[in-house]
Structures are given as C-alpha cells and as structure tokens.
Homo-oligomer: A and B are copies of this chain.
Amino acid sequence: MEATSVSETHERILDAAERLFTEFGYEGTSTRMVTSEAKVNLAAVNYHFGSKEALMEAVLRRRLVIVNEERMRALDEAEAKANGQPLKPSQIVDGFFGTLLRMAEDDSKGGQTFQRLIGRTMTEPANFIRTFLAAEYADVVERYKTALFKALPDVPKAEIVWRFHFMLGATSYAIAGTDALQLVTDWEVDEDEGTQHEKLLSRLMSFLLGGLRAPLPQFSEPS
C-alpha cells in the first residue's frame, strides 16, 4: 500500500475519465485516451476497475453518492423544520436541483466538469448506464416524489411526475452546457464564474417553479 489510502493511479484515472467522458461521451472515449490523459499505463484501467463499463460507473458513483446524500439531508432538514406540514414546492425543487447546481462551485466535488457529465449522461444511450442511474437514483427520487405529492395535494400524481420529468430535462440540458442550437450566443464574459453559477441557478429555479405550478392541462382527471 501507499501513503494515501487509495492509490494515486486510481484517482488519476477517475479524474481523466470524468473529463473525457464529459467531452466525448462514453462511446467516444477510449481506454487509451483515458490512460494517456491520466499518464498511467494502458493496463491500469482494467487492473484497477476491471472494465471500461465499471470505470464509467465508478466515475459516476464517486460524485453521485455525495449529491444524493446531500439531497436526502436537505429534505430531512426541511421536513424537520416544517414538523408535519407539507413543504413549499420551492424548497423541494431547490433541494433536488439546487443541490446539484451548487456543487459546481466546489471543485473537490467535481465542479463544473461533473455537472456537465451528469447532464450528458442522462441521455447516454448505453443500457448499462441507464440501469446504473436508475438504481443509484431510486431512493432519492422516491423521497422527492413523495414530498411533491404532499406539497401539491390538489395536483394529480401523474401530472407531478411528468413535471418532475420535464424539470429533469430542462436541468440536464442546461448544465450539460452544450447548447446544440447555439441559442445562448451572448454569454456574459464580463462576469466571474461564481456569478454565472448564481445567475444560472436563479434563472433555472424560476423557470422550473413556473413550470411546476403552471395551470394543469384540461384533459387531466384527478389522481
């Protein structure tokens, strides 16, 4: 063993893979690109992680565990303060999406890179990724769905779930930072990174809450 608890090679690979999976996607990144960027031997990926798939899962898990724990903690705290009363939708939405967006300011939690990776990964076609994500998110999604049901007792559950789905899409695309249509051409370069994040969070939260609380479509029957 080394001085550090986990070998440095192990984390060098995770960091390189995180960056490359973010930029080129899972299929577009080769193990050789990863070991080359990490400056480690080609065989190191299979030695330390077993396979490329297992590496992808390790990359995602390292950060996701932290986000989802923080999401649980945020809901615990809010519900404790509310003692029994339903939460405000804004608290729930902030607990789920705000928690993720605030991670971008903390480089020790992956910073912007991991945030973009998560945004991208939500639409990765590979089956094992979707399976992994669904399992990794299952508990936290259930908690937040329940909280939303309680916060919006007059809204049919199916409608709430759909709007959760739409919020996920809007957020994923926003943090992926790709802007395929080059819509947002006037990026304010005159501001520092921190201000940008704050603004994105404010803008996104306004949008998500507006969507969540929008009048229901006419057809819908009660839950």
Contact = CB atoms under 8 A, between A and B. Distances in A.
Interface in A181-215: 181-184, 186, 188, 198-199, 202-215
Contacts of A65: none
Given A169-B169, A170-B169, A183 B206 contact: no
**Copies assembled:** 2
Interface of A is mostly: helix
Interface string A161-184: 111111111111110101111111
17 contacts: A25-B125, A27-B28, A122-B180, A123-B123, A124-B180, A125-B178, A129-B180, A133-B180, A138-B182, A165-B184, A169-B170, A169-B173, A173-B173, A202-B218, A202-B219, A203-B220, A206-B215
Interface of A: 23-25, 27-28, 119-126, 129-130, 133-134, 137-138, 141, 145, 158-159, 161-174, 176, 178-184, 186, 188, 198-199, 202-220
